[in-house]
Amino acid sequence: MLKAILLDLDGTLLGNSMEVFVPAYLEALGGFLSNHVPPRRLVNELLNATRIMAANDGAGPTNEEVFASAFYPAVGRERAQLEPVIRRFYAEEFPKLRPLTRPVPEAPRLVEWAFGRGLQVAVATNPLFPRTAIEQRLEWAGVGVQEFPYALVTTYEAMHACKPHPAYYAEIFSLLGRAPEECLMAGDDWGADILPSTRLGCRAWWVANPAVRPPATLPRLMGQGRLSALLDRLLAAESGPY
Ligand SMILES: [Mg+2]
């Protein structure tokens, strides 16, 4: 019986191409911090610290702490000195990236349906970003945390592993208090969203063009297509097993 739904954010709830968004984000952040760290050095060290954080395996500190231990020494700045500036970046500059994204019309309908059904809803976005950057993107997607009391939003402050590490999904199931078999993960990234979640026993919906052949046959893969197709499937299954 379906008890919880896990929703990826970028490319799933929100139209957001990482090839466009990430360079613009890095340029904006580099510019904003240029009085403290030369932009090129900042971007290089940010990417390096992000790689180290992405390897976090769930056994130790939070992603935020792993990032901080790698990043601040590498740029030669005190965390206490730079963190308030970064917070200001997220308050003042990050909102300006919104035009690079576009809402997915059916995202609010799917989230509303899930809450209406009494499911736990988790935003299962790769926890490389602070909470504010994720909450702002949810707002842009029309599914903000003011409107929807999510059971979990996987921020870098909260989580101890990243996609595609299975520990990331194991932590979600544990925080929700659910067996993987009671959950459904919807996401657009085969390697990060579909493979690791289904390996743990979760069912999955691949947000991909139905004409694209899945890289593998997975018994736990429920289907593929837009979120509207997933919603249609869930509505059709309401009277039976999902
Ligand atoms: Mg995605």
Question: How many angstroms is it from 33 CA to the middle of ligand 1?
Answer: 27
The predicted structure's pLDDT at residue 241 = 53
Our CA angle for 149, 184, 238, nearest 5°, is 85
Question: How many angstroms is it from 187 CA to the middle of ligand 1?
Answer: 6
- Percent above pLDDT 90 for the chain: 97
Question: How many angstroms is it from 7 CA to the middle of ligand 1?
Answer: 9
Question: How many angstroms is it from 149 CA to the middle of ligand 1?
Answer: 21
Strand order in the sheet with 203-206: 152-153, 120-123, 4-7, 183-187, 203-206, 221-224
Question: How many angstroms is it from 58 CA to the middle of ligand 1?
Answer: 21
**Residue 53 CB contacts under 8 Å (≥ 6 apart), including other chains:** 63, 66, 67, 70, 128, 156, 162
Question: How many angstroms is it from 6 CA to the middle of ligand 1?
Answer: 12
18-31, pLDDT tens digit by residue? 999 999 999 999 99
44-94, pLDDT tens digit by residue? 999 999 999 999 999 999 999 999 999 999 999 999 999 999 999 999 999
Architecture, CATH, for domain 4-16+102-236? 3-Layer(aba) Sandwich (3.40)
Question: How many angstroms is it from 190 CA to the middle of ligand 1?
Answer: 9
238: pLDDT confidence band, cut at 50, 70 and 90? Answer: confident
Residue spans of the domains in the chain: they are: 4-16+102-236, 18-98
Question: How many angstroms is it from 37 CA to the middle of ligand 1?
Answer: 30
Terminal-to-terminal C-alpha distance of the chain: 7
Supply the mean pLDDT for the chain: 96
Question: How many angstroms is it from 86 CA to the middle of ligand 1?
Answer: 24
What's the mean pLDDT in 131-151? 98
- Between CA 83 and CA 88 the distance in angstroms is 9
Asked if pLDDT for residue 222 goes beyond 80, the answer is yes
Query: Of the ranges 1-10, 220-229, 232-241, which one carries the lowest mean pLDDT score?
Result: 232-241
Is 108 in contact with 93 (CB distance < 8 Å)? no
What's the mean pLDDT in 96-124? 97
Our CA angle for 225, 15, 194, nearest 5°, is 45
Question: How many angstroms is it from 241 CA to the middle of ligand 1?
Answer: 27
In total, the chain counts a number of residues equal to 242
Question: How many angstroms is it from 8 CA to the middle of ligand 1?
Answer: 6
240: pLDDT confidence band, cut at 50, 70 and 90? Answer: low
Q: What is the pTM of this model?
A: 0.96
- Between CA 203 and CA 183 the distance in angstroms is 6
Question: How many angstroms is it from 148 CA to the middle of ligand 1?
Answer: 20
